[in-house]
Every structure is written in structure tokens, then in C-alpha cells.
């Protein structure tokens, strides 16, 4: 079994015997869904391979290879009448250069379209009785010539557009005025999609399938192309790209059957924690694994009999600029904190659909706007619906969670010395279980930063965010906040990854409680003046410590059973306002 990491050509994948998770059974559903489809998924989610599969299925030139390519797949046993009936033309807008002046960008777009039209003329020259005229400075005219030439044949065109928003998003980030010139009025990109719409109105283009990352450009090109049907939220296509857990477990079982020295159950648990969790429809309960990262993991596991290190290939890291943009908006920091605090903390009335440039610039950047944008970029995902029919969103997995933690660390600890000190005290706790230096750092450095910010929370969440952002370490740990265990939720658990148990790191469980200064009947000055031992024996503090102690003990036992050979050390921590921390190691 060979894993096609980085390979998106369907023909090569099938002919050379690479692993392929069959999605050809969805072809009949796609045909019924509409003639001009728009399918949005995050970066590196297998969209290009999907288009390549459709290209090989519908291309008239590949009719002789149908059995070799599809004979062993679902669609090969019951093909639709449209298979191998089309001239296929594919545009890939990720190849359009977005740098330079507007005229240079427009020239790059003309060049790409002309190159694809010229390739089309070569591919189907045996069918064409009329020549296609390429006009270097006018690809729209070249397309008209192509349509005229194909009208004399019995075949229609299937147009595939990959990364439709790629270069336009790059332009938007760099130069808004050039973006508006491309998509507003008679802008070239808008005109291209107007030409596609016209061509699909009985002029030769029968089917269109468009992929992209976000609906930003889609909103601005709507007036030029308002006939596309969005299928990216449809439950039937939730796993059109990506792997299900059953599929991942099956592959791991096959690899283990080859004499593996690793545990399939542990490997699945690790992959679930880091790569799973994506849901693209509120109406399905099944979550999806990121396919590119999964193949990266499986290939390394097969070749080296161990997990890759790091688990996130940096070449595939999601764009951190998205979180940077959100965090700088009014209340954007609150959205990041809410997402980290709980799997059900982000609730919005409905997912926003319009993200044109004017919407981004002029609309209120409220929680629905920011949550929706993070969803489209793949760093939030559906949980489901509330009883009030509101959408609930969460961070999908540990890979995405790391981005949130990194961004908050940058905001709260921008200085080099503080960052180094934080790493030192966190490392000491994880290696020795000595919580005192970490608590000292939080009291003297972190609490003043957090309590002085414009937050509406000074409660248990305050202390949880402090510990979570300081202890987060996905190199060594499967770090889970609010992990369900023994009919409750662990506030924070750090379970050493199975492949990292040879290193010196403790399994850890922390349970947090909070007491306001009013509940204590003490001022901040008096609380600061007392020793931890004096604070710990105060009746209200002792009661909270006992409560956290009992929960940490119970959760630690549950995690010990779940993650053998993990043997977590448990700690009860009580925050007294944003002033002091009192803690106890649970015996």
C-alpha cells in the first residue's frame, strides 16, 4: 500500500496502485445536485484530487481507459450515462500570479486562460473541424472562438475551476483597490465569470464544478455569476473530501497487519486528537479527518514504524494570518478565548454567507461574522444546533487549537524574557510536578495582563486560560480541555503522546475553581499579604480545594483507565480573584 501524499493526479494514483479512498459513488449525487456547482473546503483538503477524478471520469479522450481507471471503484460497477461524454477544460487559478500592477495581474489571468484554451485545442484536435483562435490580450475572445469550434461537434464542455478565489484573495490582502478593479463594474475576473455564465446558457458549456477556500470572492462575483449552486453545506457531501474514522481505522488495521510494532488503537487515538473533528454540515453527526495530514502521518508510519515528528507538516500549516486578522478586530480576542474555553462556547444564529469586500470592510464585525469566517478557513467547525436552532462551533482538533494558543501567547506575552520564563516554569512543572514556579509566574506576570484587559470574565475561565496557554505543548502531549471523563469534564488534561513516552514528561490533570474577593471578604491587598498556607486554611478556600481535589482524583482515575499506561498526577487549583493561586497535589 503506497500513500499518495502530495499527489493529486487521479490517473497516476490509480495506474500506479496508490491508496485511494473511493468517492466515485458520489458522482450520481453530484449530477443530480445541479449543473453549476460550487464546493468550498479549507486549504489542503483534497479538492484538486476530487477535480482530477471528475476530469478522468467525464473526459471523452479517456473513454478507452475507463475500465482501467474505474473498474475496481464504485462508479465502475454502475456508471452514469454521462461518463466519458465531455470535452473537459480545467482552470487552476492558483497558477495566476497575484503580484505586480493591475495590468500585470490581468495579463497573467489572460495568459492562464489562453494557455488552457490552447491545451484544449491540442487535446481535442481530432474532434474539431474549426480552428480555435487564441488572442493573447483577450482570453474572453479566445473562449468565444473555442465555443464556436466545439459547437460543430456532438460534445459539450465540462468546465472545472480549481481554487477559484486563490489569486483574488492574495490581491485583496495586498491591494484592495486592485481587487475591486478585478471584481467590480467591468472588472476582468467578473467578466470571466459572466462569460462562463453565458457559455453555460446553451452555448456549449454543459457542466461547471468550482472549488475554493472561502466565499469572499464568490460574494463579489455574484452579479456576474449568480447561477452557481452551493453544495458545501450539504450533508450528503460532508465527506466528499476527507476521511471518516472508520476509513482511518481500517487503514491502520491493514498497516498493523504488516508486522507493525506500534498499536493501531493508540495511533488512531493520536490521529483523532490531531487531525479529526471537521464537520461541514450541521445535519450530519460524522466528523472528518484532514486528508493531507492523514496521508502525511500514514506514509511516515508505514516507512519508519513511528509517528512523524512534528505531527503537523509545516508546509501544510493553516494560514496564521486569518487568526491575526480576527484577533485585531473589536472583540476578536474574546472570540478566540471563547473558542478555546469550551466546545460549545461559540453559538451564532446562523452561518454568514456573504463576505464581499464591502461586507468585510463595512459590516459590524460581530461574533457571527468572525465565527463564520473562521469556519470557512477551517479553524472552526460545526458542532450542531441548539434547541433554539442556533449554530454551535468549536475548534476541530489539536492542530487548529495550537494556532489559537500561539496567537494568544503573542498577545499576552509579547516580550522575549517573559516568553523564555514562561517556557522554563512550564517545562519544570511538566517534568517534575512542581507547580509553585508556574503559579508564581501567573500571579506576578500573567494575571496583571489578563485582568487589565477589556474582558467581561474574571472567573474560573481566567485561571483556565492562563494555564492552558502556558502549558500547551503538542510536541509531547495530547492536551485536551474539558475532556469528558467519568460523567464530568476535566478542566485541563495533558496526556503524553504514545510515541513520546520515552521522554521525561508527566501525565497531568488540573481542576480549577474560582473565588471572588467579595466571597472571601478580603481586599486584594490583604490577599496578597497572606502566605499560600494561610490562604489554604480559610474555610471558603479549603472548601473549594476539597471540591477540586475530589473531581481531580475522580477524573485522574478515569483518564488512567482510558490512556494506559498513563498515570496522571492530579492537581487542585483555586484562584482568588485575579490575585493569588492556591493549589494542592492530589494524592
What confidence score (pLDDT) does residue 8 get? 95
In the prediction, which pLDDT does 220 show? 77
Q: Taking residues 124-128, report their average pLDDT.
A: 97
Would you say 461 and 451 are in contact if contact means Cβ atoms under 8 Å apart? no
Query: What is the DSSP annotation of 256-269?
Result: HTTT-SS-HHHHHH
Which strand ranges, in their side-by-side order, compose the sheet holding 381-385? Answer: 346-348, 391-394, 381-385
Could you tell me the residue range of the domain that residue 293 belongs to?
Answer: 245-316
Same domain, 146 and 192: yes
Single residue among 162, 195, 224 that ends a domain in this structure: 224
Residue 221 burial (10 A CB sphere; 0-12, 13-18, 19+): buried
Q: Are 471 and 494 in contact (CB under 8 A)?
A: yes
- Locate 479 and state its grid cell: 492536551
Both 29 and 172 in a single domain? yes
pLDDT band at 487 (very low <50, low <70, confident <90, very high): low
pTM, full prediction = 0.91
pLDDT attached to residue 179: 81
On whether both 211 and 253 belong to a single domain, the answer is: no
Residues 123 and 155 in one domain: yes
pLDDT value of residue 60: 98
Does one domain contain both 249 and 178? no
Among 316, 332, 363, which residue terminates a domain?
A: 316
- pLDDT, residue 361, reads 66
Cell triple for 284? 450530519
159 lies in some domain: yes
Query: What confidence score (pLDDT) does residue 562 get?
Result: 86
Asked if residues 381 and 375 have their Cβ atoms less than 8 Å apart, the reply is yes
- As a three-state string, the secondary structure of 269-325 is HHHHHHHCCECCCCCCCCCEECHHHHHHHHHHHHHHCCCCCCCCCHHHCCCHHHHHH
Residue-wise pLDDT for 135-193, tens only, equals 999 999 999 999 999 999 999 999 999 998 887 777 776 777 888 888 888 889 889 99
Contact between residue 391 and residue 374 where contact means Cβ atoms under 8 Å apart: no
Residue 114 backbone dihedrals phi, psi, to 5 degrees: -65, -40
pLDDT of res. 455: 53
User: Lowest mean pLDDT: which of 39-53, 80-94, 438-452?
Assistant: 438-452
Query: Does residue 39 sit in the same domain as residue 103?
Result: yes
**Where residue 138 sits, what CATH number does that domain have?**
3.40.50
Spatial strand order of the sheet with 156-162 comes to 86-92, 156-162, 205-212, 36-40, 229-230
Evaluated on CA atoms 34, 38, 41, 45, the torsion sign reads positive
CA–CA separation, 365 and 215 (whole Å): 16
* In a shared domain, residues 303 and 210: no
For residue 374, being part of any structural domain is answered with no
Q: Does 482 score more than 90 pLDDT?
A: no
Reply yes or no on whether the pLDDT at 481 is more than 80: no
Residue 17 forms part of a structural domain? no
- For residue 580, the surrounding DSSP H or E stretch is strand 580-586
What does the DSSP assignment read for 324-352?
HHHHTSTTHHHHHHHHHH-TT-EEESS--
Residue 316 has pLDDT above 80, yes or no: no
**Quick one: pLDDT at residue 82?**
98
Q: What is the pLDDT of residue 376?
A: 86
Residue 377 located in a structural domain: no
CA 323 vs. chain centroid, Å, equals: 12
Q: Let me know whether 192 and 159 are in one domain.
A: yes
CA angle 543, 450, 518 (to 5 degrees): 40
- Over residues 394-436, the pLDDT tens digits come to 999 998 999 999 999 999 999 999 999 999 999 999 999 999 9
Domain assignment present for 117: yes
The per-residue pLDDT of the chain, averaged, comes to: 91
Same domain flag for 446 and 544: yes
How many Cα atoms sit within 13 Å of 41 on the Cβ side? Answer: 27
Q: Give the pLDDT of residue 166.
A: 81
Task: Report the candidate in 494, 491, 495 with the shortest Cα–Cα distance to residue 548.
Answer: 491
What does the pLDDT look like over 339-386, one tens digit per residue? Answer: 998 887 899 998 887 777 677 667 778 899 899 989 988 889 999 889
Give me the half-sphere count of Cα atoms (radius 13 Å) on the Cβ side of residue 177: 4
Is residue 550 situated within a structural domain?
yes
Domain tally, the chain? 3
Q: Is residue 210 part of a domain?
A: yes
Helix, strand, coil fractions of the chain, as percent rounded to 5: 50, 15, 35
218 and 259 in a single domain? The answer is no
Query: Is 399 a domain residue?
Result: no
Does position 451 have pLDDT exceeding 80, yes or no?
A: no
Residues 250 and 220 in one domain: no
- 430 Cβ neighbours under 8 A, 6+ residues apart: 471, 473, 476, 477, 494, 505, 506, 508
User: Can you give the pLDDT at residue 352?
Assistant: 81
Among the listed ranges 74-83, 183-192, 227-236, which one has the minimum average pLDDT value? 183-192
The DSSP code sequence of 33-63 is H-SEEEEE--TTSSHHHHHHHHHHHHBGGGG
Whether residue 260 is found in the same domain as residue 206: no
Last residue of a domain, one of 262, 286, 316: 316
Amino acid at each position: 500500500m503506497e500513500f499518495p501524499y502530495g499527489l493529486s493526479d487521479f490517473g497516476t494514483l490509480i495506474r500506479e496502485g496508490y491508496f485511494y479512498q473511493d468517492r466515485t459513488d458520489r458522482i450520481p449525487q453530484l449530477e443530480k445536485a445541479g449543473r453549476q456547482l460550487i464546493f468550498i473546503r479549507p486549504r489542503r483538503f483534497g479538492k484538486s484530487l476530487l477535480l482530477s477524478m471528475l476530469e478522468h471520469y467525464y473526459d471523452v479522450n479517456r473513454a478507452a481507459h475507463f475500465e482501467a481507471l474505474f473498474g475496481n471503484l464504485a462508479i465502475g460497477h454502475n456508471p452514469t450515462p454521462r461518463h466519458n461524454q465531455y470535452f473537459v477544460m480545467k482552470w487552476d487559478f492558483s497558477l495566476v500570479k497575484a503580484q505586480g500592477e493591475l495590468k500585470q495581474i490581468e495579463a497573467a489571468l489572460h495568459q492562464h486562460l489562453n494557455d488552457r484554451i490552447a491545451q484544449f485545442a491540442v487535446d481535442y484536435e481530432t474532434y474539431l473541424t474549426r480552428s480555435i483562435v487564441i488572442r493573447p490580450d483577450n482570453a474572453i475572445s479566445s473562449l468565444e472562438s473555442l465555443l464556436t469550434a466545439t459547437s460543430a461537434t456532438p460534445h459539450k464542455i465540462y468546465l472545472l475551476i480549481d481554487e477559484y478565489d486563490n489569486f483574488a484573495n492574495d490581491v485583496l490582502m495586498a491591494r484592495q483597490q486592485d481587487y475591486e478593479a478585478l471584481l467590480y463594474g467591468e472588472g476582468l475576473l467578473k467578466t470571466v465569470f459572466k462569460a462562463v455564465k453565458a457559455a453555460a446558457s446553451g452555448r456549449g458549456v454543459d457542466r461547471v464544478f468550482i472549488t475554493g477556500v472561502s466565499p469572499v470572492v464568490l460574494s463579489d462575483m455574484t452579479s456576474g455569476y449568480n447561477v452557481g449552486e452551493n453544495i458545501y453545506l450539504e450533508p450528503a457531501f460532508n465527506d466528499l473530501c476527507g476521511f471518516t474514522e472508520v476509513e482511518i481505522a481500517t487503514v491502520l488495521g491493514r498497516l498493523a497487519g504488516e508486522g507493525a510494532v506500534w498499536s493501531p488503537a493508540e495511533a488512531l487515538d493520536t490521529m483523532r486528537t490531531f487531525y479529526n473533528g471537521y464537520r461541514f454540515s450541521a445535519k450530519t453527526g460524522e466528523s472528518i479527518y484532514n486528508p493531507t495530514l492523514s496521508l502525511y502521518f500514514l506514509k511516515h508510519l508505514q516507512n519508519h514504524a513511528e509517528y512523524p515528528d512534528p505531527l503537523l507538516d509545516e508546509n501544510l500549516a493553516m494560514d496564521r494570518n486569518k487568526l491575526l486578522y480576527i484577533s485585531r478586530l473589536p472583540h476578536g480576542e474574546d472570540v478566540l478565548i471563547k473558542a478555546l474555553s469550551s466546545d460549545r462556547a461559540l453559538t451564532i444564529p446562523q452561518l454568514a454567507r456573504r463576505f464581499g469586500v464591502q461586507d468585510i470592510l463595512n459590516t459590524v464585525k460581530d461574533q457571527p461574522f468572525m465565527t463564520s469566517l473562521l469556519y470557512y478557513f477551517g479553524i472552526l467547525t460545526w458542532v450542531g444546533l441548539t434547541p433554539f436552532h442556533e449554530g454551535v462551533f468549536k475548534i476541530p482538533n489539536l492542530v487548529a487549537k495550537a494556532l489559537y494558543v500561539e496567537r494568544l501567547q503573542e498577545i499576552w506575552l509579547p516580550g522575549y524574557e517573559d516568553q523564555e520564563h514562561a517556557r522554563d516554569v512550564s517545562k519544570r512543572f511538566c517534568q517534575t510536578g512542581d507547580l509553585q514556579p508556574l503559579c508564581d509566574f501567573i500571579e506576578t506576570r500573567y494575571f496583571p495582563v489578563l485582568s487589565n484587559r477589556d474582558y467581561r470574565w474574571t472567573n474560573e475561565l481566567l485561571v483556565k486560560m492562563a494555564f492552558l496557554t502556558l502549558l500547551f505543548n503538542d510536541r509531547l502531549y495530547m492536551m485536551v480541555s474539558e475532556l469528558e471523563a467519568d460523567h464530568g469534564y476535566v478542566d485541563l488534561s495533558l496526556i503524553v503522546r504514545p510515541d513520546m513516552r520515552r521522554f521525561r514528561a508527566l501525565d497531568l490533570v488540573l481542576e480549577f475553581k474560582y473565588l471572588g474577593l467579595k466571597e472571601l471578604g478580603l481586599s486584594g491587598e490583604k490577599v496578597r499579604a497572606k502566605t499560600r498556607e494561610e490562604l489554604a486554611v480559610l474555610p471558603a478556600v479549603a472548601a473549594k480545594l476539597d471540591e477540586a481535589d475530589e473531581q481531580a482524583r475522580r477524573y485522574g482515575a478515569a483518564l488512567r483507565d482510558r490512556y494506559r499506561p498513563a498515570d496522571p498526577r492530579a492537581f487542585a487549583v483555586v484562584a482568588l480573584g485575579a490575585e493569588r493561586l492556591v493549589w494542592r497535589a492530589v494524592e
